[in-house]
Amino acid sequence: MMSLKSFFEPSSVAVIGASREPGKLGHEIFKNIIDAGYKGKIYPVNPKAPDVLGVKCYPSIKDVPDEVELAVVIVPARFVPAVISDCGEKGVKAAVVISGGFGETGPSGAELERQLVEAARKAGIRIVGPNCQGVNSTSVGLCATWPLIRTKGPISVISQSGTVLAAVACWAEEDKVGVDKMVALGNKCDVDETELLEYLSNEPTTRVIALYIEGVRDGRRFFQVARDAAERKPIVVLKSGRTAKGAQAVASHTRSLAGMDAIFDSVFRQAGVQRVSSVEELYDVCKAFAGLPLPKGKDVAIITSSGGSGILALDACVELGMNAPDLPPETRERLKEKLPPECILKNPLDLTGSATSQMYDEAITALGESRVADAHVVIVGDPMPGISEVIVKHVLRGKTIVPVMLGGGKAEAEERAKLADSGIPVYSDPVRAVRTLSACVRRALWKDSFQ
């Protein structure tokens, strides 16, 4: 089968159904491709428009004078099979079919989808969709989806829900983390989650893969591919249809078989894929994998200026199966020399309200050198100028540090922004941070288990 490269690095793109009317998908997507700074050639196709946004428009894909590698299709479903045949004649290699009105709508839509697949096979064209929210490949500025997302980053997302896709991408853009490739699967009449997972696991610009799925087409093949992919990079999966009611709803939404949830759970665990249970957690965990070194094990030290937040983090560590080892006497001695007497030299190490960035630095250094823990949860309760530099320094030295900032008001925002500039995630809640860390620890233990 032809590679998926034409979806992500096409030399030219035609938008079939490009529209002059703001608000219409055919307009928004065409505009997003231009605004994202796509450098290849771009051809709007629409028999009724002389140009779209000042770009010369063609009545049919066959009228485009040059080669077209990728087609983005936003025309009513009944025209799509013929459009794909035309694309075949033109030598188009891949098509993203945004249009809905196929298998998801019932028998007549399913027949149209069959015709679409047949046309694509004849023409040798690979299809993403139909009924999908498109594709984004930030490395080439190809935002063939919405909203407009341009920030390049380490996370690629494969999603059976356009909204989940957009949410993760929006958060990654806000945090300056950025995304690499985004694919909405839609009805996956051709390209599916497994093939994309395999492709992205070999993409050097993708460092973490997020998956939202409702089912998989071929469970055995998914397992093999996911396991191989997980050896290369972290895979984080959100799978819905966990309950019986949820599984029924999955059948209505994307006609997937949600399957027995316990089986998925076990497949994910064996394949080394980290399962999460909400959209926010999907993003939280991806952000951690993208920005932090993997811990070596499950021993966690908590350093905090807020006693209460430290205890909340500690409870969560224990409940999620991690260890919070006591500090050995020599480490306590060392800390005693470096820190003021009000500090509580335990785990959590409570620097109290008088904490400074300098004290955090001493604490991380001392704990790090005595190898008390595999990972550090660093909780900053008050505005703390300079804390981001301290965290960046230790992360660059290979320490797994999960920063939590809460309660600092506007002063906090600056330090958060500096961490973002260094690609280091920061969390607003100690429990949420520890839950995220637990996914990193699970990956570390999984990797250990076969080494």
User: Considering only residues 214-253, where is the footprint of a second copy by CB under 8 A?
Assistant: 214, 238, 240-246, 249-250, 252-253
Query: Which residues have CB under 8 Å from 113's CB, separation 6+?
Result: 102, 103, 130, 187, 189
Q: Does 167 bind a second copy (CB under 8 A)?
A: yes
Q: Does 320 bind a second copy (CB under 8 A)?
A: no
**Any idea which residue has 């290699």 for tokens?**
93
Q: Does 373 bind a second copy (CB under 8 A)?
A: no
Nearest to 172 by CA among 195, 156, 159: 156
CA distances to 25, 76, 128, 227, 289 from 60, rounded to whole Å, are 18, 15, 21, 43, 45
Maximum distance among all alpha carbons in the chain? 80
Q: Does 103 bind a second copy (CB under 8 A)?
A: no
Q: Does 44 bind a second copy (CB under 8 A)?
A: no
Q: Which stretch binds a second copy (CB under 8 A): 50-58, 216-224, 316-324, 369-377?
A: 316-324
Q: Which CB sits closer to a second copy, 240 or 388?
A: 240
Q: Does 3 bind a second copy (CB under 8 A)?
A: no
Phi, psi dihedral angles at 284 (to 5 degrees): -50, -45
Residues that contact a second copy, how many (by CB under 8 A): 75
Q: Does 17 bind a second copy (CB under 8 A)?
A: no
Instruction: Compute the least distance from the CB of residue 63 to a second copy, in Å.
Output: 30
Which one among 101, 219, 297, 368 touches a second copy, defined by CB under 8 A?
101
SS3 11: coil
**Footprint of a second copy on residues 380-399 (CB under 8 A)?**
381-383
- Please confirm whether the linkage preceding 154 is cis (ω < 30° from 0): no
Which one among 49, 53, 82, 311 touches a second copy, defined by CB under 8 A?
311
Which one among 72, 164, 375, 392 touches a second copy, defined by CB under 8 A?
164
Q: Does 257 bind a second copy (CB under 8 A)?
A: no
CA distances to 26, 99, 166, 283, 450 from 204, rounded to whole Å, are 31, 31, 22, 20, 24
**Any idea which residue has 């919405």 for tokens?**
146
**Footprint of a second copy on residues 109-148 (CB under 8 A)?**
133, 146-148
Q: Does 310 bind a second copy (CB under 8 A)?
A: yes
Nearest to 264 by CA among 229, 320, 234, 226: 226
Concatenate the DSSP letters of all residues of 104-169 into one string. GG-HHHHHHHHHHHHHHHHHT-EEE-SS--EEEEGGGTEEEESS----EEEEEEEES-HHHHHHHH
Instruction: Compute the least distance from the CB of residue 429 to a second copy, in Å.
Output: 4
Instruction: Compute the least distance from the CB of residue 379 to a second copy, in Å.
Output: 8
Q: Does 91 bind a second copy (CB under 8 A)?
A: no
The amino acid present at 277, given as its one-letter code, is S
Q: For residues 309 and 449, give the distance between their C-alpha atoms in angstroms, rounded to a whole number.
A: 32
Which one among 34, 120, 140, 166 touches a second copy, defined by CB under 8 A?
166
Q: Does 265 bind a second copy (CB under 8 A)?
A: no
Q: Does 342 bind a second copy (CB under 8 A)?
A: yes
Q: Which CB sits closer to a second copy, 246 or 297?
A: 246
Q: Does 285 bind a second copy (CB under 8 A)?
A: no
Q: Does 172 bind a second copy (CB under 8 A)?
A: no
Instruction: Compute the least distance from the CB of residue 271 to a second copy, in Å.
Output: 21
Which one among 38, 43, 212, 264 touches a second copy, defined by CB under 8 A?
212
Q: Which stretch binds a second copy (CB under 8 A): 8-16, 159-167, 365-373, 416-424?
A: 159-167
Residue 39, burial from CB neighbour count under 10 angstroms (0-12, 13-18, 19+): exposed
Burial readout 52-65 (b: 16 or more C-beta within 10 A, e: otherwise): bbeeebbebbeebe
The amino acid present at 360, given as its one-letter code, is Y
Which one among 46, 138, 305, 436 touches a second copy, defined by CB under 8 A?
305
Q: Does 350 bind a second copy (CB under 8 A)?
A: yes
The amino acid present at 230, given as its one-letter code, is A
Q: Does 267 bind a second copy (CB under 8 A)?
A: no
Q: Does 428 bind a second copy (CB under 8 A)?
A: yes
Neighbours of 450 (CB within 10 A): 7
Torsion of CA 6, 7, 8, 10, to 10 degrees: 40
Instruction: Compute the least distance from the CB of residue 16 to a second copy, in Å.
Output: 19
> Directed axis angle between helix 219-232 and helix 430-449, to 10°?
100
Which one among 19, 254, 274, 331 touches a second copy, defined by CB under 8 A?
254
Q: Does 340 bind a second copy (CB under 8 A)?
A: no
Q: Does 332 bind a second copy (CB under 8 A)?
A: no
